[in-house]
Amino acid sequence: MASSEKPPVAFQHPGLCHPTIYLLRKMRSDVCSLLESYVEKQGLDANFNLDSIDGVPVADAESWGELSDAERLGDNLKTYWAFQVLLDEILEEQRSNLTPTDVAFHESIQSVILQVSALAYQLEELMVVLKHKVPAKELESTKGSNGKGLFEKKVRGMKVLQELAQWTVRSIRDLHQVSKSLQTDNIPCESRQLTQEK
Amino acid sequence: AQRPSQQETHIHYAQLGTDVTLLCGSVDQDAAVTWTANSTDLDASHLNGSRLVLRNVDLSHSGQYTCYEGPSWHVKYRVNLRVGLPPKEPIVMCRSNNYPNGFYCSWHLPSPTYINDTFNITVVHDSKEIVCKKEMPPKNRCYIQFLQVFSTKKYKVTLTASNPLGSSSTTISFDEFAIVKPDPPENVVAKPVPNNARRLLVSWQYPSSWPDPDSFPLKFFLRYRPLIIDQWQHVELSDGTSHIITDAYAGKEYIIQVAAKDNDIGTWSDWSVAVHATPWTEEPKHLTTEAQGAETTTASTSAFVVPPTTRLSDSDVTDR
């Protein structure tokens, strides 16, 4: 796109990034509370070292500043597709044997699953609009916890929620970076929320 | 006693409150010697043969002790006594005020040791040791560059303080997000809004140490109160670097401060430097005498009345 042309449609409609940042913030808050209740309900220790657990997309990135927009958005999209599968597994494990009767807890997991899939949809739409190649969607279940004991399933679920919370922070900054790099109508990624306290 | 000659000076460390015995180099236990402390002769009561015995030493015992061997009374041994304490567990704190570039760790000892201490710091993340670049002044601080960002793996920092009397160490571990704390906002300015007796326009700038406001926007917390009231009013702003206070008491001088925080992680900065401002007031008109008389009566009834909702209390300012 020649720079003199009008910015992509997405950025003429300030709507696209704005709700995505909102969604990510909401998700972060919900995931953090879900993680807290998850740790409590599974009887785990919040400071448990989860570094050795693999098969979960980790948010940490080296030379994060140098990623291209396409890489950023692509990494994000693949990540949230993967989290959809992992969260479905967690929900299944909780329903089947870890907390079978705790319906409210299951609903809070379900709510996060819905947010993750909404986010994935918005990221995919953004990539299409920005004419980036959308990565292939490999959605086969990782069955990462198959054959694992109850404790390992619990700890793995904790790792999933921990990394998901971490990813929400990264994704917000990825979106800021994308909007910055485009130097276009600055997507009003932030709104002016005024909370007056007296 | 004039005993010239050059002699190597030894150093001896002793812990505060202990008894110290100084040997006169290699002379026999019963050789005839005399001792000086900072060139002042010490009487024989301190001697045990050729050894100098100092009881329950304190800081004033620190100094140079010289032993002279008879009968020529030449300098036989010179020792610098340094009285002090082994280091207690050091206090170390790490903080990122320029996220996501890196973070610094700074440390201090809870109490003085009175002798030279050395510090050694190791920083481990993801099982790898990371270099902590010492900063010249201040001496007790070093800087670590983030090799990865958005990591859930904890950082482990171990600081060891040592001196000739002992050593002590402290280990802390933390998450990357937890140590993010910006510096306070800068260049805070508050101005009256012309023709508006209840408004003040406050503006500020990002801390200059914050490297990427576009991708890592900060939110701000503004607190303000008239000087005559203790109770702060607060307002949180999720973007922008200015705000109009619309409920100021007319004619009252205000004190205003701003704090900053990353939108999603870390903790609030310290409060900015306080600024003062008074809302706009109408210029007094030059009136004839009657009009002035009427005006004075009206003026006295509209004196400053504290709205019932505002509690005048002497308690400290409670933080947000």
pLDDT at A143 over 90: no
pLDDT at B304 over 70: no
Which pLDDT score, from 0 to 100, does residue A145 have?
56
Q: How many domains does chain A have?
A: 1
Q: pLDDT digit string (tens) for A23-39?
A: 999 999 999 999 999 99
pLDDT at A6 over 70: no
C-alpha A142/C-alpha A89 separation (Å) is 9
Question: What does the DSSP assignment read for A40-75?
Answer: HHHT--TT---TT--SS----EETGGG--HHHHHHH
C-alpha A84/C-alpha A140 separation (Å) is 11
Instruction: Determine what percent of chain B is predicted with pLDDT higher than 70.
Output: 86
Question: Is A190–B217 a contact, with Cβ atoms under 8 angstroms apart?
Answer: yes
Question: Is B264–A169 a contact, with Cβ atoms under 8 angstroms apart?
Answer: yes
Which pLDDT score, from 0 to 100, does residue A47 have?
87
Has residue A5 been placed in a domain?
Answer: no
- In this structure, of A131-145, A168-182, B83-97, B124-138, the range with the lowest mean pLDDT score is A131-145
Question: Is A190–B150 a contact, with Cβ atoms under 8 angstroms apart?
Answer: no
Q: Closest Cα partner for B137 from B106, B162, B93? A: B106
Q: Spell B87-116 as b/e; 16+ CB within 10 A means b.
A: beebebebbbbbbbbbbbbbbebeeebebe
| Chain A residues whose C-beta sits inside 8 Å of any chain B C-beta | 25, 28, 49-51, 58-62, 64-65, 162-163, 166-170, 172-173, 176-177, 180, 189-198
- In this structure, of A71-80, A144-153, B283-292, the range with the lowest mean pLDDT score is B283-292
Taking the CA atoms of B129, B134, B140 and B143 in sequence, report the sign of the dihedral they define: negative
Q: Give residue A37's domain range.
A: 16-46+66-138+146-180
Largest CA distance in chain A: 60
Q: What is the CATH number of the domain that holds A28?
A: 1.20.1250.10
Is B159 within 8 Å of B80 (Cβ atoms)? no
pLDDT at A16 over 70: no
Q: Which among B152, B216, B233 has the least Cβ separation from residue A166? A: B152
Q: Which among A169, A192, A195 has the least Cβ separation from residue B150? A: A169
Q: Which two tokens stand for residue B192?
A: 């009256």
Instruction: Compute CA A138 distance to the chain's CA centroid, rounded to the nearest angstrom.
Output: 17
CA atoms within 13 A on the CB side of B70: 9
C-alpha B101/C-alpha B307 separation (Å) is 48
C-alpha B86/C-alpha B168 separation (Å) is 8
Chain A partners of B265 at a C-beta cutoff of 8 Å? 169
Has residue A197 been placed in a domain?
Answer: no
Starting at the earlier edge strand, list the strands of the sheet with B166-174: B128-130, B118-125, B155-163, B166-174
The helix (H) or strand (E) run that includes residue A129 is: helix A103-129
Question: Is B151–A64 a contact, with Cβ atoms under 8 angstroms apart?
Answer: no
- The reply to whether the predicted model has a pTM over 0.90 is no
The helix (H) or strand (E) run that includes residue B170 is: strand B166-174
pLDDT at B97 over 80: yes
Q: Which among B217, B234, B238 has the least Cβ separation from residue A176? A: B217
Which pLDDT score, from 0 to 100, does residue B138 have?
61
The H-assigned helical ranges of chain B are 289-301
Which pLDDT score, from 0 to 100, does residue B9 have?
86
pLDDT at A7 over 70: no
Chain B partners of A196 at a C-beta cutoff of 8 Å? 235
Which pLDDT score, from 0 to 100, does residue A181 have?
74
Which pLDDT score, from 0 to 100, does residue B64 have?
96
Question: What does the DSSP assignment read for B236-266?
Answer: EESS-SEEEE--PPTT--EEEEEEEEESSSS
ipTM above 0.85, yes or no: no
C-alpha B31/C-alpha B279 separation (Å) is 87
Has residue A174 been placed in a domain?
Answer: yes
Question: Is B235–A197 a contact, with Cβ atoms under 8 angstroms apart?
Answer: yes
Residue with tokens 């299409």: A128
Q: Which two tokens stand for residue B169?
A: 């160490």
Q: Spell B168-203 as b/e; 16+ CB within 10 A means b.
A: bbeebeeebbebbbbbbbbebebebbeeeeebbbbb
Q: Which two tokens stand for residue A92?
A: 């299944």
pLDDT at A197 over 80: no
Q: pLDDT digit string (tens) for B221-236?
A: 999 999 999 999 999 9
Has residue A193 been placed in a domain?
Answer: no
C-alpha B51/C-alpha B22 separation (Å) is 6
Task: Give the angle subtended at the CA of B205 by the CAs of B200 and B210, to the nearest 5°.
Answer: 150
Is B113 within 8 Å of B85 (Cβ atoms)? yes
C-alpha A64/C-alpha B12 separation (Å) is 53
Instruction: Name the closest residue on chain A to residue B309, using Cα atoms.
Output: A198
CB within 8 Å of B82: residues ≥ 6 apart: B11, B12, B13, B14, B62, B114, B115, B164
Task: Give the angle subtended at the CA of A173 by the CAs of A167 and A177, to the nearest 5°.
Answer: 135
pLDDT at A186 over 80: no
pLDDT at A4 over 60: no
Q: Classify burial at B236, counting beta carbons within 10 Å of its beta carbon; exposed 0-12, middle 13-18, buried 19 or more.
A: middle
Chain B partners of A64 at a C-beta cutoff of 8 Å? 100, 148-150
The larger pLDDT score, comparing residue B289 to residue B217, is at: B217
Instruction: Name the closest residue on chain A to residue B237, using Cα atoms.
Output: A194
Has residue A196 been placed in a domain?
Answer: no
What A150-154 contacts at long range (C-beta under 8 Å, 24+ apart), as own/partner pairs, is A150/A97, A150/A98, A153/A93, A153/A98, A154/A42, A154/A43, A154/A44, A154/A98
C-alpha B219/C-alpha B261 separation (Å) is 5
Has residue A29 been placed in a domain?
Answer: yes
Q: pLDDT digit string (tens) for B36-94?
A: 999 899 988 999 999 999 999 999 999 999 999 988 999 999 999 999 999 999 999 99
- In this structure, of A2-11, A16-25, A83-92, the range with the lowest mean pLDDT score is A2-11
Chain B partners of A169 at a C-beta cutoff of 8 Å? 150, 177, 264-265
Has residue A77 been placed in a domain?
Answer: yes
Has residue A54 been placed in a domain?
Answer: no
